[in-house]
Chains A and B, each alone.
Chain A
Amino acid sequence: MWLSPSLLLMIISIVTSICLVISSPSLFISWIGLELNTLAFLPLLLSKKSKLASEASIKYFLTQTLASVLILVGGLWFLAPWGGLATLTLLLGLSIKLGAAPFHSWVLSIAEASGWVPLFALLTIQKINPLLMLWMFCHLSMPFFYVVVLSSLIMGGLAGLTQTSVRSILTFSSINHVGWLMTALSFSLSVGAYYFLIYLTTLLCSILIFHMFNVSHINQLPLLSFKPSNQMLLFFALLSLGGLPPFLGFLPKWMILQLTVSYSLLLVGGVMISMSLVVLFFYLRLMFSAFMMGGVNLTTLSSDPLPFPVYFVALFSITGGGLSMIYFL
């Protein structure tokens, strides 16, 4: 399906838009990259061909267009003597683009309606362009930026507690990670890029496993005939995503926490640590339901081994951190 000419064109367009934003000398060219990214992603959302996917694509288009208008207006206001208001408007538009709290409600409805591959792209690839633009204008001393970071951390953690759909859980976890990403970018681009790459790897592993076994709901896990090795793989992948040592996901969080302490941003650091516990709790609950009826085989499904690329990604996302920690110690 992904080799169809039209979808291949859209994927190339998304990659082009990222290159455009990276290399653009001006805000206007970056805005063009954002627009290209939005328009090229819509056919990927519609690849599922259901009425919910159509609804999701319309919602995605409308919210992203609104955000683009705000970004453009903010950019134009830089030419006028309204520098503070311009930055605020620009940050507002970029926060909506990212799906950061309190502008996150559109992400959930789109995540529920999309397939696993578009969901992965929505939670990772589609964040690259707004994050690159955010890097230029963000600093934790700005009140609005501070509010968005704290809201994302808190909302992503607490709202995920009541979710039973696996897609919703991953979406709220992503909103929590957006808070971490924005904090990382406020320190430096390399820290942000490092966090993003590790988040992408750890999320890819979890999503690949959920996609292989077609798990959409928390109650499907106990009744699915997982091989114990695959169950452990999913468990470790989720723990890595949650940032538990010694997995790979812990390393960037440790780095950002160290930076927040050294810059005396103790409130942000405290909220990060406490919300990490909450996020880890709902990952553990997901896996607890899988282990709860261990040994009970009600079906004869899903006993085939996973494809090799999944094992490769899982190996890197789970153990990469352990090897790196040995290097630092």
Chain B
Amino acid sequence: MYRFIANKLLVPSTCVRGLDFPGVFVPSTSFHEYRKSGYVDKTQKKTSTRESIRNGLKELKQEIKNWTAEVKDGVMMDPIMAMPLPGEVDAQWFFNQNTNFDDWVVTADSDHNEGHSTCSFGVSPVGKGLFSGNLSTQLVKDGKVKNAGYCNIKSIRPLKSFKRDSFHDWSAYTHLVLRVRGDGRSYMINLGSAGYFDINWNDQFHFALYTRGGPHWQVSKIPFSKFFMTSKGRVQDHQQAVPLNRITSFGITAADKINGPFRLEIDYVGLERDPTHTEISAYEQYKTPYFYAGY
């Protein structure tokens, strides 16, 4: 009886994983109480209120400088000068020896004892970014985990001054351009588009990137119209265009259900505007005529 209530009526993910949080159980599968669905950041230390205030005051001067720079940039920036021209690729992220890899969150299923995969993100021998590791679909024997085998890198959300959440504004562009050298395996490109309300916190757009085995680099030019929408990993029936003015993160996931090592070298991730590309969303929606049930 308790297992029925736990698995069917209460929030399944938090109950199944037995995660430790003092939440109130709400009988709804659409209510998300915590942004990270109960996964706790183990590296984060608990600080007292006094220490938090002291740390905040130390950062105040820098935040005021950041705010001043934002205001100046807003006044002086001419949008016409920043207009992308067709055929030009505006690189968002370059990966080389000077890249700060701390700006990328690297996760695997083994981080929370849900699998045995491991991964890392650093500099390759030729001086580019290297996302590599070992995928393992072996299940952890706890009776709760049904699927295993993923590794992921994700960019951190852009912040404005005073730690305010911001977005990447890619509305001027139509394509995502990646210069990568893969190992023949397939990877998932993820665009996070977290919304304001909890029901949209876990909305993402995905595209499957198939790589060649090298040694040559490949330049993948992916239209944003080809990305499909998911919420908490579930593909949605009603598909729509990527909200390009509200992108919160960019990520790459290796989860192709094949055991073994993987290796993806990345030179840059950029954006391009192609004026001949007018497709908004590649996924046809079935609309019922008026006076029919449904939409």
Tell me whether chain A's interface is mostly helix, strand or loop, or mixed: helix
A219-B197 CB under 8 A given contacts A49-B238, A298-B86: no
| Inter-chain contact total with CB atoms closer than 8 Å | 67
B290 touches A5 (CB 8 A): yes
A59 touches B171 (CB 8 A): no
Instruction: Add 11 more A-B contacts to A52-B246, A164-B171 (CB < 8 A).
Output: A4-B290, A5-B291, A49-B295, A50-B240, A51-B200, A55-B196, A161-B74, A162-B77, A164-B82, A218-B79, A222-B83
Q: For A54, what are the chain B residues with a Cβ–Cβ distance below 8 Å? A: 200
B240 touches A219 (CB 8 A): no
CB within 8 Å of A: which residues of B?
74-75, 77, 79-80, 82-84, 86, 169, 171-172, 195-197, 200, 203, 229, 238, 240-241, 243, 245-246, 273, 275-276, 278, 290-291, 295
A217 touches B171 (CB 8 A): yes
- Taking the complex as formed, is A288 at the interface, i.e. its CB lies under 8 A from any CB of chain B? yes
Query: What are the interface flags for A277-305 relative to B under an 8 Å C-beta threshold, 1 for contact and 0 otherwise?
Result: 00000000100110010000011010000
In angstroms, Cα B278 to Cα A216, docked, is 13
- Min CB distance A220 to B, Å, is 8
A161-B75 CB under 8 A given contacts A51-B195, A223-B86: yes
B79 touches A164 (CB 8 A): yes
In angstroms, Cα B278 to Cα A154, docked, is 37
Interface centre among B79, B195, B241, B275 (most CB of A within 10 A): B79
Interface centre among A217, A285, A288 (most CB of B within 10 A): A217
B240 in complex: contacting residue of A51, A162, A223, A289, CB < 8 Å: A51
Q: How large is the interface on A (under 10, 10 to 19, 20 to 34, 35 or more residues)?
A: 20 to 34
B80 touches A285 (CB 8 A): yes
Which A residues, 192 to 228, have Cβ-Cβ distances below 8 Å to chain B? 216-220, 222-223
- Taking the complex as formed, is A35 at the interface, i.e. its CB lies under 8 A from any CB of chain B? no
Which A residues, 23 to 77, have Cβ-Cβ distances below 8 Å to chain B? 49-52, 54-55, 58-59
Which A residues, 133 to 177, have Cβ-Cβ distances below 8 Å to chain B? 161-165
Q: For A292, what are the chain B residues with a Cβ–Cβ distance below 8 Å? A: 80
In angstroms, Cα B85 to Cα A289, docked, is 12
12 A-B pairs, CB-CB below 8 angstroms? A50-B240, A50-B243, A51-B200, A51-B229, A51-B240, A52-B246, A55-B195, A59-B196, A164-B171, A218-B79, A218-B80, A285-B79
Q: For A163, what are the chain B residues with a Cβ–Cβ distance below 8 Å? A: 79
In angstroms, Cα B83 to Cα A289, docked, is 9
B275 in complex: contacting residue of A5, A50, A298, CB < 8 Å: A298
